[in-house]
Amino acid sequence: MRLFEFVLALALMTGLTGSTMAADKYVIDKVHSSITFSVKHMMISTVKGGFDDFSGEIMLDENDITKSSVMVTIQTASINTANEGRDKHLKSPDFFDATIRKLRSRVPASKRKMVGSLRTVRSQCVLSA
């Protein structure tokens, strides 16, 4: 089992579907949301990419934010860095072993912060089958 850290930014007003009552469950809408990353490569360049296939939900309690959480599952085979050779290598057993693994993360509300109109979440992900 490998751990990865990622930052997930969600536009809470447009990227979710659900009602507006307290302690609601919101489903992450892939049309209005994205999971992206950037990684320093050899201290010279930054590789940017994302995952095209993911799902998740947010439990939001507006009355007590500490009871809120985020759960995300990312299909590692959907990685896209705009470089076919690099993507193939990242999907291989050297990294994600994408034919059998996916990333999962559960984030407590204490790991969240506001950045403009976005909520940013930092979490360690578990790579699992």
| Paired tokens of 28 | 């992450």
- Could you give the count of Cα atoms lying within 13 Å of 112 in the half-sphere of its Cβ? 23
Output the pLDDT for position 83: 96
Asked if CATH classification 3.30.465.10 holds for the domain at 17-115, the reply, yes or no, is no
Q: Using CA atoms, how far apart are residues 8 and 90, in angstroms rounded to an integer?
A: 20
* CA–CA separation, 15 and 70 (whole Å): 13
CA–CA distance, 32 with 16 (Å, rounded to integer): 8
CA distance 51 to 44: 23
Q: Closest Cα to residue 59, out of 12, 104, 91? A: 12
Provide the residue ranges of all domains of the chain, joining segments of one domain with +.
Answer: 17-115
Report helix, strand or coil for 23. coil
Render each residue's pLDDT in the chain as its tens digit; 129 residues: 344 444 444 434 334 444 445 568 889 998 988 888 888 888 889 999 999 999 988 888 878 777 778 888 888 899 999 999 999 999 998 888 888 777 777 666 555 555 555 556 566 666 776
